[in-house]
Homo-oligomer: A and B are copies of this chain.
Amino acid sequence: MESTPVWRRPTLGAVAARAGVSTATVSNALNGTGRLSEATRQRVLAAARELGYAPASTARALARGGTGVLGLTMTTYGDLPVPYIEIPYYAQLTLGAMSAAHERGYLLLAMPSSMSPWMWLNTPLDGVIHGGPRADDPVRAILRERGVPMISEGRPPEPRRCDAWVDADHEAGLRLLLDHLARSGARRIGLSLPLHDDAYPRLIAHAYRSWCDEHRTPALVEEYASLPDYFTAEQHAVSRLLSHDPRPDAVIGVYSDSGHNILAAARHHGLRVPGDLLVACVSEDPDYATTTPPVTTVSLRPDRVGAEAVDLLLAVINARGVVDRRRLVQPVLLPRRSTRRAARRRNGTP
């Protein structure tokens, strides 16, 4: 039996031989290091081009006929483009994903959520990380049509067995806040809950009710419309919470600006934080370190979510055998003054 000829990736040595230089010189020419004459550099680049040499970092992508480029986007909401890169969570997720892609020899292209199907059809991509998926998202249909590998950042609302996704462990994050508030003496913890068609509010509501059942405390929930203006809508929802009798002694919000909204509603009701009311929220906004008072937050670690998303997407693209297609990143608690047990309360419960 004769051996079948197989195309092999040209080696650094082959490029060196063709250009008539050492392999160190090839390496310097391709990596922009060392001191080379312009003529030598040109000769090496020409030899590399002729042989189809690609450096190791992109070899895997190029060997598969890929582009070496990964896409990242957020779902579209009809006519309303979401400037998601300006939202702290997605800003950090984007940077985390980008760093992870670079480390693995890939580039990451963040696409605007308003991008037309036309551009989705024409931008060359090896795979896409799709943020905040909805059930009927048109971008998902187009990518499936094109055969572009895709994973979700955030659980799909109606997950299917084949879906691959990375998400923050939202239930664990909410429990971090609830346990922390309970330790700070809260006995009636209210929840301000957005109405939205992604999975997030549903996961939060479920985790909250389970915790309240386990701890035999009342579930106090007020809902608000998250579009178009969740600032005003959430302040009204918190106002309704604070009008309950007896009043909640703590309120949790679950969107980035919820802490600001709850503080505003508390001021409106003449309540001091943390003396009369403990306040906490799920947010990546660094401003909570300097509000009056600083507000306790849970961080979902979006940079980790972004890095895990790149790892999972590359596993799917390269069809690695056994892969955990559902990955949860553990949130962290950042306790601040808004949930510090008040002195008089501490005296009351020794």
Contact = CB atoms under 8 A, between A and B. Distances in A.
Interface of A: 29-33, 38, 41, 45, 48-49, 53-55, 57-58, 68-69, 76, 78-79, 83, 85-86, 91, 94-95, 98-99, 102, 107-112, 114, 116-119, 121, 123, 138-139, 141, 286, 289-290
| Copies of this chain | 2
Contact of A118 (B55, B79, B94, B114): B55
A111 B68 CA distance: 11
A348 to B, nearest CB: 30
Contacts of A141: 38
Contacts of A289: 286, 289-290
Given A286-B289, A289-B289, A95 B91 contact: yes
Given A91-B95, A289-B289, A33 B83 contact: no
Contacts of A290: 289-290
A294 B112 CA distance: 36
Contact of A116 (B30, B86, B102): B30
B79 A33 contact: yes
A68 to B, nearest CB: 8
Contact of A117 (B45, B94, B119): B45
Given A85-B95, A85-B99, A102-B112, A32 B76 contact: yes
Contacts of A98: 85, 94, 110
A9 to B, nearest CB: 13
A285 to B, nearest CB: 10
9 contacts: A32-B76, A32-B139, A45-B121, A57-B116, A83-B99, A83-B102, A85-B102, A95-B95, A289-B289
Contact of A30 (B45, B86, B117, B286): B117
Contacts of A76: 32
A108 B55 CA distance: 23
Nearest to A94: B95
Nearest to A101: B112
A109 B139 contact: no
Contacts of A121: 45, 49
A157 to B, nearest CB: 17
Given A30-B117, A30-B118, 5 more contacts: A31-B116, A32-B116, A69-B109, A85-B95, A94-B98
